[in-house]
C-alpha cells in the first residue's frame, strides 16, 4: 500500500476538519412566548462534544435585546440578521458571564455599533482573557437593562464568580443562563461550588414565582429548575448530606 505524501495528508486533515465544522447545526431561533424568542447555537467543545447554547431575544415593541450572544461570531451575525429581517431594531445585549457561550459575540456587536452590556466583574474577566469587553458595565446587585421590563440580578457566585440572571417581570420568565442546571453542575473550571447553594437559595427566594426558566444548556422548564439547581449545588458541596438537604429544599 502506498503511503500518503505529507502535503496530501495535511490537505486531507484540513478538509475533514472543514467538513466536521459544516456538520454543526445552524443557529436556531424559536418563539417561546409573545415577544420572547429562544436562540440556540452550536459549537464543538473539547471534552464535551457538540454543545447547544441558549440565549434569548426579548422585544420591547420593535426594540430587540439579546440576552447572551450566540457562541460564535458567525452565529451572532446570523442572529442580528434574523432580528432585522423580522423588522425589529437591535437595541442592545447583555452577557450573563464571561464564557464564550455568553460573550463570544460582543466584539461583533461592538463593530456594528450595537450597545453591549455586562457587569463590571464580567468585563474584568473578559479583559483578563484577552477578549473585547462590553461597552457598558454596571456594578450593582440589581440592574435594569430596560426599566420595569428586563432586570439583571446577581444571585452570588456559582457557575462562575460573575454569573448573573435576567428576569422579565411582565412575562415572569427567568433566563438563568449557565447558573441554572437540570442534570449536573457541568463545567466547573471557573465555578465557585462552595457558594453555589447559597446563591441558588437567593435565586429561588427572589424568583420563585417564575412561570418559565431558561437554562444556558438544555430545555426550557419551569421554576422546578431552580430547585434542581439548588439540590445539585448542595450535592456538589456536601455529597454525604445531600439526601436530607434535598428533601428540605423540595419543601421550600
Q: Which of 39, 54, 68, 101 is catalytic?
A: 101
Q: Which is catalytic among the residues 39, 68, 99, 143?
A: 99
Please give the Cα distance from 246 to 172 (Å, whole number): 25
Cell numbers given for 215: 437554562
- Is the CB of residue 117 less than 8 Å from the CB of residue 145? yes
* Annotated catalytic residue, options 63, 100, 187, 202: 187
Nearest alpha carbon to residue 20 among 55, 54, 53, 46: 46
Write down the catalytic residue from 97, 117, 143, 217.
Answer: 97
Distance between CA atoms of 209 and 232, rounded to whole angstroms? 20
| Choice among 39, 117, 143, 159 that is catalytic | 159
Q: Is 39 a catalytic residue?
A: no
Residue 99 bears catalytic tag:
yes
> For the sheet containing 116-119, what is the strand order?
28-33, 36-45, 49-60, 63-67, 89-94, 116-119, 136-138
DSSP at 135? S
Query: Is 117 known to be catalytic?
Result: no
Alpha carbon distance, N-terminus to C-terminus of the chain: 69
**Residues 178, 102 contacting (CB under 8 angstroms):** yes
Residue with cell 424568542: 37
Active site residues: 97, 99, 101, 159, 187
Amino acid at each position: 500500500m502506498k503511503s500518503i505524501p505529507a502535503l496530501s495528508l495535511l490537505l486531507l486533515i484540513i478538509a475533514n476538519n472543514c467538513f466536521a465544522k459544516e456538520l454543526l447545526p445552524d443557529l436556531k431561533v424559536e418563539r417561546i412566548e409573545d415577544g420572547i424568542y429562544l436562540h440556540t447555537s452550536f459549537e464543538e467543545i473539547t471534552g464535551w462534544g457538540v454543545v447547544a447554547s441558549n440565549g434569548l431575544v426579548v422585544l420591547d415593541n420593535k426594540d430587540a435585546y439579546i440576552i447572551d450572544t450566540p457562541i460564535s461570531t458567525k452565529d451572532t451575525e446570523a442572529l442580528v440578521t434574523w432580528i432585522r429581517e423580522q423588522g425589529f431594531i437591535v437595541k442592545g445585549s447583555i452577557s450573563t458571564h464571561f464564557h464564550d457561550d455568553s460573550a463570544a459575540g460582543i466584539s461583533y456587536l461592538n463593530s456594528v455599533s450595537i450597545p453591549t452590556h455586562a457587569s463590571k466583574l464580567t468585563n474584568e474577566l473578559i479583559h483578563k482573557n484577552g477578549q473585547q469587553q462590553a461597552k457598558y458595565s454596571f456594578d450593582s446587585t440589581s440592574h435594569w437593562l430596560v426599566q420595569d421590563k428586563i432586570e439583571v440580578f446577581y444571585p452570588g457566585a456559582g457557575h462562575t464568580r460573575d454569573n448573573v440572571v435576567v428576569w422579565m417581570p411582565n412575562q415572569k420568565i427567568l433566563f438563568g443562563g449557565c447558573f441554572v442546571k437540570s442534570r449536573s453542575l457541568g463545567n466547573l473550571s471557573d465555578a465557585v461550588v462552595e457558594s453555589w447553594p447559597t446563591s441558588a437559595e437567593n435565586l429561588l427566594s427572589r424568583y420563585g414565582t417564575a412561570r418559565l426558566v431558561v437554562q444556558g444548556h438544555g430545555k426550557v422548564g419551569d421554576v422546578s429548575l431552580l430547585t434542581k439547581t439548588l439540590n445539585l449545588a448542595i450535592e456538589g458541596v456536601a455529597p454525604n448530606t445531600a439526601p436530607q438537604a434535598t428533601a428540605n429544599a423540595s419543601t421550600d
